[in-house]
Structure 1
């Protein structure tokens, strides 16, 4: 192994000597380094374990780098280079790299074609150092530097000496993006329904625990659910003794589970609300993130305060606030009451207090307006506090009107302070910022129409019931189901409908079969959940008459048997007997008319004959 290292070192030393030879000639317009003349290493073999990690899953990588160096002589007795440092970073947004500096292993050289040398070495990255955090392509970038290495006090020291230009870069595609056809949108399936701290407010230097309640709000089960806590936005807060990834297992539809993260704060922190992101994912479910805020009380006056100077700077905090309940309602005005305290040892004056919204910008003046979600109602969003003594407090109240069509969510309200104070004999203008989280809900307007039945019903025969329903609210309703109860038989006694978007409507239909005469009655109960998981119900009663089933008609269509005799039920012979009875009555009337006409005609004829006879008997009549 030492000989192989010597050959590699000889190669790189010779490269440096070649550079010197080039520099003896007239200087070119641009500097040419050894690294410019040697091609970058490439990955000749790779193993990723597992080969296709899911979102939130750790994975390991074993790589072998090869570098083909041309037209350089080497001295096998040279041993200048025997250390290769590899700095690792991610070139996409899908990999988290926790350990970023490595030293190559198994350094060796082999003769290539002509006067070429092939330099090779290995890189091993453990699963605890890498994690997939996105569904896109995963690319690792390597910055490779060749050093000499020696030991000092039993500690390995790497130095580049005069060969600082021997630096190369390489990239490798670790995994491809996930197939979109194998994923479904989260669509609210995994959400952080609530969270709590074991104590609040948390002070700098303290240990505390964060407990999350995760809910599967969909109608489908989630398998292999994973929670990942991202503390990148909460500088000074870290996980104590555990990883940021927690396995939640399988969650049935509507099920909840809790997960706890042990956290700790640095000894010196700035007072404020620190944003923490929670990423939730499962098999066939894309990752969805939620943001929560950790209230932490500290003594640092700002990011540049090291704690060594300026400890006497006064700090303004919102020690408590009240907005009237668990959540505000869109379109309904509410009052936000804030208690502001000066935690410093010196008084402050000329304080400007501005209430605004968290727009997600990094600018210091991002809280100049309340924003599109909350609007001041008949007042300004700015307060003036003339002075506030050490450890004194003042109450401020502002009326806010939430946007009527704002999506149900928790929205951050930022309070900025700008004030003057005399610190260490010098008058200074100081600033601080506080964040308040206010949950907003929209009223649920799930309406159910009156049941419509095919009245009347007949005993033993199925009739239909139809009930229309609509979501007139601006929030989605979840897990809608219907249950039928009453004095009837039905195959649709319980039916699951699912989630209903805002503005969506449909109709529930079922067949009901009464078993006795009289009256059919029952209740249709619709149950559903709001965004917070609260179960609500709407019940609709219905009833109708039930008649005896019609007896079957015997004989022909007219109620008569083929021989002309009445059928088995002459009282219910159907419409045929009426038709024939009408025909018979008409025939009788016609016959009576004919008889009357014939009799009248015969009488007239007899009268004419009698008159003729009388004429014949008259004297002088005839011939």
Structure 2
């Protein structure tokens, strides 16, 4: 029973406590002040919304393709497409790898750009040497806008800069040669050798370095085997000097010096690497059998060769005859001779390889081979390589030997520059006429320094001498001269043409001409003395009607006389019907008739 009343008491207390809490919360809600509208909230609600970012059109001025390695000015324009002013605009440029901005600055401050207005900045753009094609120039314009609620905005774009690449160059060919050696090198002999490098290309050889490597019978006395070579312009030569020494025992009389030239040249704006190598023969005195335990290696060399004595025309055939000698002290056997014409010569029927069984010491053999120079061969000395492979027996052992001999044969491109005889129209004294002659270069090589001139007297010409320059292979054209004869009659003159052929020889051709000059028409003076008189007319104009009237009168008189004579003879029926004498005169015709 007690627990029952205790539980009811606790429940009553809990209910009272809950009612008290609800009452206190209601009172608190009524006493709490309503949130006032502050100045800050009022100002934020009444502030205008920021204006939209105005659009900006970015463009550049017109420009031609920019050659690689050069620079040009361009104007970049910023057109404000909005209605508000762009304040403190700053233009920032980001060029691609192929182009750059001259001056070092990449950001520029512009003046304010009003709505609908345009601002611009001028840049100097430079293209890299290796650049080509379309290059991009990134542009970003940063600005502020708006009066009541200033805001920041940006506009960006990428402009295209067209770049024209540099043309690619052909690798220059470098010819390597050495200075003359008066006599074969003796064992232990020290000597200087000058190596020459000739640039036969059309671009400069740069950053060249020559590496030399002597054969086993020679030693290089220089501290290094690599030598720097100065830049070599087209058509020029460079050289280095190396110091060599013959070995104490030279086993072979045919020694050599291998030369490897490494260089660079510019092609399409970029440095391109290239090499040129050759092996130069150096004659030496081989050690005798008494001073060596082994027999010297026998050498086979070309003693002499013939090709006809005159330069071989490109495309022409010629016999190549050469005599080779065994300069050793032992017999050589199983000899194979191969002739390599390179790029300029080819065998004209047959084989370029021959075989011989043996050749005794100090003996010679002669070989003849028909060759032909290819039509595209350039003028100048061209190389033919004769290779020897043979064997010799030394102490019962057979040893193989190889050697290469270079022969030089001059080649010339035939002069096929054709000039047609000059043609001339009729000439009149004091009037200008024309003489023309056509030409065509039928050869495979260019001709240079073409020049034509008129030689003679009795005429005037605005250009008696004309320089036409070089004429490429396969092209044609014409030469024209304007001249004015001074007097009528016979006019003798000569058209003289000079040029340089493919062998750089000056050629001259003359064309004598004999012209017949006619008299010019006399001048007629149509002037009038009295300036106030009627317009001038030819003096013979009034004679025309007078002459016509006189002819008509004469014809009428002749007709009447003939009629009268026929009437008198009585054989004119027309006269019988109508008579001039019976015609009434004027006095009778005018009298009235009587009634």
Contact kept, 8 Å, 1:463 with 1:512, in 2: the verdict is yes
- What's 1:383 paired with? 354
Determine the C-alpha separation between the residues in 2 that align with 1:463 and 1:388: 76
Determine the C-alpha separation between the residues in 2 that align with 1:209 and 1:562: 91
Deviation at 1:491, TM superposition (A): 2.6
* Residue 565, structure 1, aligned to residue 539, structure 2: yes
**From 604, 607, 615, the counterpart of 2:576:** 607
* Residue 468, structure 1, aligned to residue 438, structure 2: yes
CA shift in 2, pair 1:247/1:384, >3 Å: closer
CA shift in 2, pair 1:192/1:506, >3 Å: farther
SS at match of 2:444: coil
CA shift in 2, pair 1:310/1:539, >3 Å: farther
Determine the C-alpha separation between the residues in 2 that align with 1:396 and 1:229: 41
Q: Deviations for 1:335-355, whole angstroms, at most 9, x for unmatched residues?
A: 222232223342212212122
Compute the RMSD of aligned alpha carbons. 5.3
Which is higher, the Rg of structure 1 or of structure 2?
2
- What's 1:508 paired with? 479
SS at match of 2:421: coil
Determine the C-alpha separation between the residues in 2 that align with 1:584 and 1:234: 115
CA shift in 2, pair 1:203/1:323, >3 Å: farther
Determine the C-alpha separation between the residues in 1 that align with 2:373 and 2:439: 28
Determine the C-alpha separation between the residues in 2 that align with 1:546 and 1:193: 59
Q: Deviations for 1:524-543, whole angstroms, at most 9, x for unmatched residues?
A: 22222233322222222223
Contact kept, 8 Å, 1:276 with 1:294, in 2: the verdict is no
**Mapping of 1:525-540 within 5 angstroms?**
525-540=496-511
* Residue 518, structure 1, aligned to residue 489, structure 2: yes
Contact kept, 8 Å, 1:193 with 1:532, in 2: the verdict is no
Aligned residue pairs total 391
SS at match of 1:607: helix
- What's 2:154 paired with? none
SS at match of 1:536: strand
- What's 1:129 paired with? none
- What's 1:374 paired with? 346
- What's 2:414 paired with? 443
- What's 1:416 paired with? 387
Contact kept, 8 Å, 1:457 with 1:544, in 2: the verdict is no
Contact kept, 8 Å, 2:170 with 2:267, in 1: the verdict is no
* Residue 316, structure 1, aligned to residue 300, structure 2: yes
SS at match of 1:243: strand
- What's 1:243 paired with? 228
Determine the C-alpha separation between the residues in 1 that align with 2:357 and 2:176: 39
- What's 1:262 paired with? 241
- What's 1:297 paired with? 283
Greater displacement, 469-478 / 591-600: 591-600
Deviation at 1:334, TM superposition (A): 1.8
- What's 1:455 paired with? 426
**From 470, 480, 491, the counterpart of 2:462:** 491
- What's 2:12 paired with? none
Determine the C-alpha separation between the residues in 1 that align with 2:309 and 2:454: 36
CA shift in 2, pair 1:420/1:284, >3 Å: closer
Q: Provide structure 1 residue ranges, at least 5 long, that are not aligned to the other structure.
A: 1-51, 54-134, 138-178, 301-307, 360-371, 568-575, 614-623
**Mapping of 1:198-209 within 5 angstroms?**
198-199=180-181, 206-209=191-194
Contact kept, 8 Å, 1:419 with 1:431, in 2: the verdict is yes
* Residue 329, structure 1, aligned to residue 301, structure 2: no
Determine the C-alpha separation between the residues in 1 that align with 2:547 and 2:345: 80
**From 312, 331, 341, the counterpart of 2:325:** 341
Determine the C-alpha separation between the residues in 1 that align with 2:169 and 2:317: 34
Q: Deviations for 1:360-387, whole angstroms, at most 9, x for unmatched residues?
A: xxxxxxxxxxxx832245x543333332
Determine the C-alpha separation between the residues in 2 that align with 1:242 and 1:467: 56
Greater displacement, 319-328 / 446-455: 319-328
Determine the C-alpha separation between the residues in 2 that align with 1:500 and 1:444: 13
Determine the C-alpha separation between the residues in 1 that align with 2:268 and 2:237: 21
Contact kept, 8 Å, 2:176 with 2:278, in 1: the verdict is no
CA shift in 2, pair 1:553/1:405, >3 Å: same
SS at match of 2:576: helix
Deviation at 1:502, TM superposition (A): 2.2
Contact kept, 8 Å, 2:439 with 2:477, in 1: the verdict is yes
Greater displacement, 462-471 / 318-327: 318-327
CA shift in 2, pair 1:274/1:341, >3 Å: farther
**From 481, 485, 491, the counterpart of 2:451:** 481
Determine the C-alpha separation between the residues in 1 that align with 2:175 and 2:398: 47
Deviation at 1:444, TM superposition (A): 0.9
**From 385, 389, 397, the counterpart of 1:426:** 397
Contact kept, 8 Å, 1:272 with 1:433, in 2: the verdict is no
TM-score where L is the length of structure 2: 0.52
Determine the C-alpha separation between the residues in 2 that align with 1:597 and 1:562: 44
Deviation at 1:545, TM superposition (A): 2.3
CA shift in 2, pair 1:606/1:521, >3 Å: closer
Deviation at 1:507, TM superposition (A): 0.2
Contact kept, 8 Å, 2:526 with 2:537, in 1: the verdict is no
Deviation at 1:597, TM superposition (A): 9.5
Deviation at 1:431, TM superposition (A): 2.8
Contact kept, 8 Å, 1:273 with 1:435, in 2: the verdict is no
Q: Deviations for 1:13-38, whole angstroms, at most 9, x for unmatched residues?
A: xxxxxxxxxxxxxxxxxxxxxxxxxx
Determine the C-alpha separation between the residues in 1 that align with 2:566 and 2:264: 109
SS at match of 1:516: coil
Determine the C-alpha separation between the residues in 1 that align with 2:372 and 2:550: 83
- What's 2:99 paired with? none
Determine the C-alpha separation between the residues in 2 that align with 1:589 and 1:289: 107
- What's 1:154 paired with? none
Deviation at 1:436, TM superposition (A): 2.5
Q: Deviations for 1:293-316, whole angstroms, at most 9, x for unmatched residues?
A: 84433589xxxxxxx997733232
Contact kept, 8 Å, 2:563 with 2:575, in 1: the verdict is no
Deviation at 1:443, TM superposition (A): 0.8
